[in-house]
Structure 1
């Protein structure tokens, strides 16, 4: 955590939290609260409703988890051990996505490390059927973490009754909850809650939608608006490259293979097929990357994020479908205030040009693809979200391989880097206006980029053009085109099916090992090649004559990363290649008389 986000004048110990929670915080090496924690925790402990606006990475999760846990522990300490009052669900935490639900549940588990079995928290946001989750809720866990839609189903079916027991309601990422279309679900949930209870709303932005939610669930709230430090925005350097669709693949190959960007990267695309196209393309050059999308099982998605945070993977290709869920539509734009980005209406976009083989397959598969797309929509997880809320750690760069469909989505994507006081950069590849795209953008990228750039200038930021000589990378074009020809519609479909099967198996292993044998999880890989037979050996390495004298992309500290790729011979012989004089010493086990006889015969 960056020092600028911490309140050095305060300590967690001074907040009068339970000793068991303080021990857990010490184990997590947390001494000073962040600004939002220092302000929100005392208000929550005093029983007041709280509306807090703070940017991503500022510690909002601990700001509501710690007061909830402290109050539950205090209540149970005051009750006899055999009291039935101890077994009640006292807190409900609502989040917009299943990934965020997993993250919050894990954070609670870390905080109650020294509480024994005093506190139980259950996450019901996963895709388990209601009848399987019902017994868990019948045990009356102290805390329930869920998405609004899932908990409402249980409330309607009477699997859980909160009208007499609930003490605290939390809605995290409130603006995102509304943009995902949960407003009616929230209204339904409130009707099943007691009239008197404490509520907390936490959000990165306060728009008109959050204002209506505030009137619905908050009573005389304390409002915290923690202003963003202008110096923080300078730690994010934003670049853009206007190029053709074919050049997008060429540039991403050169950037990643020559390591022009150092560190971990998230590559955003706009649909699932696009993510597999990019993964299969990078596989041709032995560049490993994980795919993260709504079709993968929840356990696998969460494990991918965890392993990425641990540094196991360098690249994640993330499908950002937030705009399709309503985040980028005109209605959401109308509800935003001056803090929000302008949102673009969606219009249909024609197909983008790809390599010749892909074009031929596209015509043949077009009719079949429409039928399959309907089936895919059914299998996708509506409560998936990756551009907001998820705690990606140590992200050095965000690459918008497909430009987002709205300015708000752009803000959320680039917000994955330069977090918590760290430096970062973003690079957006924008298709030129006269280039048609086959991605699910439904609108010309150039037009949307114009809106984004204008909004960034209004906020005091600038998206700089990444200047380089395109002629310096022309030598890589034949390799890029060869790789693109191998990535057809049929290979994408096969890879998609194979990946889902693999991840279903991984998900079952994860389910069995999460608690019992956590060390075994280290052997699960999510970046395996989907078509290893198609990878050509000569594509793995870059000959020295192809390495261009191109500058690395400068990070926020002004230091440019430079390519560190040397010549690697394809058929490397053993030894260091130095010529040596033959040794005169006899080898072990050789007979000197026999060797002398051989010389005389010569």
Structure 2
């Protein structure tokens, strides 16, 4: 995973931990390019290897994953070194890692496999959060893997069916702790802790980017006398992110997106966030009308396809991803309605942004709670609400285990475009945290629909979440201002943009509801097939992955060839980048020149170019005029 330069501890190297870490781990870290530990790793490793519980608050991209993976692997190697392979306690599950989304589970698995390059036979890792069949899951867990990665709902199901046994557990990790409960996993987490599945003594890790009430709840459930690592954020680094907003109607969202992307006003990779799956495909089909390629990312697609799409985007194969942020409309929709939000400003308000770097204060970044404080046990888990059918419950959980605003490691994102404004300031912070990372500059652009403009267009203007855009945006501005950031108005000449409206209207009319439905079914079928290939064929033929594209045109609507290029009379005077579009037709014109020359020779003058042409000027013979 990519680690930001300013978060690296320049004063130490991993060789400092050579007396604590196995040589094979140090060798793997060198292969991964980790010469120096990050700040959170340098603080957490010695404490973790002593056996203390840890609550670490550090921003996304600070190296939290390796901070808990390294001590876990070390503890397992140490435990196994003192046992023989025939010993009953040699092969048992010693660690479980809970993550909020399946995408994050894949990234943690990749990190662990990289660490285990030279000891993969000694330590077995299983990711139970993948979409594998129950039969396959049971077969994998029957071997008692050393480390299990899962989402809370999947882990609870495996524990209840006795497929997973944690009686010998030594390490319990909750990654992205601030999201675990907000994604609807609260009841599952409580049942895991109170259901008698865990031993009395084990080490716990809580890793989080923010300190919320959810984290405090988990802290009471999971931790006992924890060491608290607080890596404070550097407010000066907020200048790396430029935030802009535009007040516009629902239809103008499409117009502005077309102009911005077609004129290359944003250079580099861009994530476009929408609030539901239908709008995801509507926007993709709309951009296809202008030959702007993009790929989609939503909870309907198979996990393997989603993960591969992110990997290819990070490699630079795709420039535009249209991501459906369903968490912004469901799991976190009530965040801003809580009365406690004002009271949390001074304690957690400046912790919400994941776009700033961190710095440590050696005297204050580690706090130890009094040892007399014992692990809290809740009196009784709350009774669930009205019972739902199994199908409904399963569908809800699968939706909640998808997430792209946090945890997923997007690399080199130049811009985040909030095509649909999220329903909470917290979700906004998570979205814009995808850019301005690793010391690079980035920008965010948000469309805000005024209340009087909502619902005017019955086809694209009835998005329920957009009704409260102005209220939500006011809260977003307030929170960003409290952190020293300002959201500026994106200024442009609307007269020049208006010239593109007739082309936009033509393209938008082509994207009908039936076309969206057809595209949605087609994409899902294609990606299901691709997902099977990714699981089977592509494991044996990794090079073939290059031929698997996720941004192929769906084309259920009519595509007009002339829409691909922008006429010269529409080009704004100040837009320099679109010159590429004007120069494209010049390619391959050579044959036409050759044909036209031959045509002139055999034209109206007859064969051989002689006189006698009707209606044309008679060509003079140079030999007759010669004297």
* Superposed pair shares fold, TM > 0.5: yes
Is the deviation greater in 492-501 or in 536-545?
536-545
Unmatched tracts of structure 2, length 5 or more: 353-391, 455-460, 599-607, 609-620, 622-627
Q: Distance in 1 between matches of 2:130 and 2:178?
A: 21
**How far has the Cα of 1:421 moved from its partner?**
2.4
Q: Provide the residue aligned with 2:6 in structure 1.
A: 4
Distance 1:576-1:12 versus aligned 2 partners, 3 A rule? farther
Q: More displaced, 380-389 or 282-291?
A: 380-389
Residue 169 (str. 1) matches residue 172 (str. 2): yes
Is 1:143 the counterpart of 2:167? The answer is no
The more displaced of 396-405 and 323-332 is 323-332
SS at match of 1:285: coil
1:245 lines up with 2:260 in the alignment: no
Deviation by residue 1:504-553 (Cα, 9 ceiling, x = unmatched): 111111011343211111111111111166221111111222111346xx
Counterparts of 1:157 and 1:477, CA distance in 2: 58
C-alpha change, 1:100 and 1:379, in structure 2 (3 Å) is closer
Q: Does 1:13 align with 2:15?
A: yes
Note closer, same or farther for the CA distance 1:535–1:375 as it changes in structure 2 (3 Å cut): farther
Q: 2:561 aligns with which of 530, 537, 545?
A: 537
Aligned pair in 2 of structure 1 residues 291, 513: CA closer, same or farther (>3 Å)? same
Alignment of 1:182-261 (within 5 A): 182-190=185-193, 191-261=196-266
Shift in CA distance, 9/470, structure 1 to aligned 2, threshold 3 Å: same
Partner of 2:382: none
Residues 20-74 of structure 1: CA deviation (Å, up to 9, x unaligned)? 1111111111101111111111111111000000111111100110110111112
Determine the structure 1 residue equivalent to 2:388.
Answer: none
Per-residue Cα deviation, 1:184-223 (whole angstroms, up to 9, x for no partner): 2112112311110000000011112211211111010000
Q: 1:387 aligns with which of 394, 405, 410?
A: 405
Conservation of the 8 A alpha-carbon contact between 2:96 and 2:147: yes
Shift of 1:175: 0.8
In the alignment, what sits opposite 1:111? 115
State the distance in 1 between where 2:509 and 2:351 align: 38
Kept in 1: contact 2:349–2:483 (CA 8 A): no
Q: Which has the larger radius of gyration?
A: 2
Residues 269, 402 of structure 1: 8 Å contact kept: yes
Partner of 2:361: none
Partner of 2:420: 402
Question: Does the C-alpha gap of structure 1 residues 132 and 325 become closer, same or farther in structure 2, counting only changes over 3 Å?
Answer: farther
Q: Are 2:57 and 1:53 equivalent residues in the alignment?
A: yes
CA contact (8 A) 1:241 1:429 kept: yes
> Partner residue of 1:311?
316
**Unpaired segments of 5 or more residues in structure 1?**
344-373, 552-560, 584-594
1:503 match: 527
1:575 aligns with 2:590: yes
SS in 2 for 1:565: helix
Q: Deviations over 1:374-422 (max 9, x none)?
A: 9996796331111111111111110000111111110000001112322
TM superposition score normalised by structure 1: 0.86
Query: CA-atom RMSD, angstroms?
Result: 2.7
Q: 1:412-491 residue pairs with structure 2 within 5 A?
A: 412-436=430-454, 437-441=461-465, 443-491=467-515
For 1:287 and 1:335, locate their aligned partners in 2 and report how far apart those are by CA, in whole Å.
44
1:131: how far off?
3.5
CA distance in 1, matches of 2:523, 2:215: 38
2:500 counterpart SS class: helix
Residue in structure 1 matched with residue 74 of structure 2 by the alignment: 70
Q: Which residue of structure 2 aligns with residue 96 of structure 1?
A: 100
Query: Cα distance, 1:431 vs. partner?
Result: 1.4
Partner of 2:602: none
The superposition leaves residues 202-256 of structure 1 with CA deviations (integer Å, 9 ceiling, x where unpaired) of 0011112211211111010000111111122110000111111111111101111
Work out whether 1:37 is the aligned partner of 2:41.
Answer: yes
- TM-score, normalised to structure 2, is 0.83
Contact 1:208 1:335 in 2 (8 A): no
Q: CA separation in 1, counterparts of 2:251 and 2:531?
A: 35
The SS at the match of 1:381 is helix
Structure 1 residues 573 and 110, CA gap change in structure 2 (3 angstroms): closer
Instruction: Give, in angstroms, the shift of residue 330 of structure 1.
Output: 4.6
The answer to whether the 8 Å contact 2:293/2:320 transfers is yes
- For residue 342 of structure 1, report the CA deviation from its aligned partner: 13
CA distance in 1, matches of 2:112, 2:142: 20
**Aligned equivalents of 1:147, 1:332: Cα separation in 2:** 27
Cα distance change on mapping 1:395 and 1:175 into 2, 3 Å: same
